[in-house]
Amino acid sequence: MATDKSWQWWKEHTPQYFHKFAMSRRQRVIMAVFLLGSFVYIILTQERVVRTQGPTEFELALRKRRAVHMLGRVPGEPTHPEVRKFCSGLAKQNPNLVQAENESSPVIYVVTPTYKRPEMVAELTRLGQTLTMVQRIHWIVAEDSATCSAPITSLLKRLGLPYTHLATPMPEIYRREKFVPRGVSNRRAALQWVQANGENTGVLFFLDDDNAVDIRLFEEMRSTKTVSMWPVGLIGEYTVSSPIVKEGKVVGFYDGWPAGRKFQVDMAGFAVGVGYMKKQRKVTMPYIAGHEEDGFLKSLNLSISNIEVKADRCTNILVWHTRTAKNPIRTLNMETHQNDNIKVLADNMRHLGMIK
C-alpha cells in the first residue's frame, strides 16, 4: 500500500535516532482516531458555547415569565390594573377633507403607540397626513404617558380624521426590565377600545409612528375577515420579514429572528378582522419584548392555514420598518434673543417637546 511505501521511505531517509520514536501501523491508526475525536469534540463544544452565549439574557427573561406561569398567571400579563385615560376623540370625519367617505366600506382602525421625545410631533404629523389620503380610517393614538399631550390633541383635531386619543403609561415594573416591552400598554388599551367600540365589519392594523406605508396597503387589508398578512421591508437580518406562500397558502415565515415564535411577523405585517377578534375568548398582548406579535396572534386561536395572503401573494412590499434618528433634548440659551423671533420660536419648540 502507498502508506507502507511512504513509511519505508521515511525509515531509509531519516537519521537512525528518529527510529526509536517510530510507531507501528496499529499505533498510528489509534493516534489518528484519537486526534480526529479530539478535533470533533473541540468543534462541538465551541458550537455549544456560541449557542449558549447568544440569547442568554433574553432566554432568562422568558424563563422568568414561565416561572410566573407556573405560579398560576399567564406570562406577560400585568399583576396590577393598567392606567388608561381617554383624552379626546372625533367620531366622524371632518367634511372639509378632500376625500368623500364611502359609508359602506369597512373602517380601518389604525393603532399607533407613541411616547414623548423631540421627534414625536414630527413623526405623527408625517403619518397623520398620509392617513388623511385614505378613506374610512379611525386613528387611535395611544401615548406612553399618564397625561394627555396637548400637541398631540392639537394635531389630531387639525387633521380632521376620526380619532381616539388615549394616555396609557407602561407599568413601572416593566420599565426596569432588561428588555423593555415598548408600546404594549398602548396597544393593549387600543385593543380594549376597539373591542368595545369597533364595528364588526372593521379591520384592526398596528402602525408605529416611524413606519413608512404605501396607501395602497389599506385597500389591500380592507377586505380582511380573519387575519391577513404581507411582507415588511427594512427589518432584521434579511432586510424583510414575510410569510412564505405556496399555492396561495401561508406555509411558514421568512424572518431573520425566529426565536421560537409560531408567527414570525412584524407588528406592521398583519391586519385583523374586528368581528373575528370579538369572537375570541380572551384577546391579549403579552408584556414580553420581541414576542408581542406572536402572543397576540396566538390569543386569536389563529391557524397558519387560515391566514389571508395580501400584497400579490406576498411578493410586494407596501410598508417599511423605517426608524428615525434620535435627537437629544437640548436646552437653548436665549439670553441674546429676548427681543426677536427666536425666543418665541424656542417657546413653540418647547411646547412640542423638542427642547427643554
**Which one is catalytic: 143, 220, 292, 293?**
293
Binding-site members are 113-115, 144, 182, 187, 208-210, 321-323
Q: Is 47 a catalytic residue?
A: no
HEC secondary structure over the chain: CHHHHHHHHHHHCCCHHHHHHCCCHHHHHHHHHHHHHHHHHHHHHHHHHHHHHCCHHHHHHHHHHHHHHHCCCCCCCCCCCCCCEEEEEECCCCCCCCCCCCCCCCCEEEEEEECCCCCHHHHHHHHHHHHCCCCCEEEEEEECCCCCCHHHHHHHHHHCCCEEEEECCCCHHHHCCCCCCCCHHHHHHHHHHHHHHCCCCCEEEECCCCCEECCHHHHHHCCCCCEEECCEECCCCCCEEEEEEECCEEEEEECCCCCCCCCCCCHHHEEEEHHHHHCCCCCCCCCCCCCHHHHHHHHCCCCHHHCEECHHHHCCCCEECCCCCCCCCECCCCCCCCCCHHHHHHHHHHHCCCEC
Binding-site members for UDP-alpha-D-glucuronate are 113-115, 144, 182, 187, 208-210, 321-323
Binding-site members for Mn(2+) are 210
Which residues form the catalytic set? 293
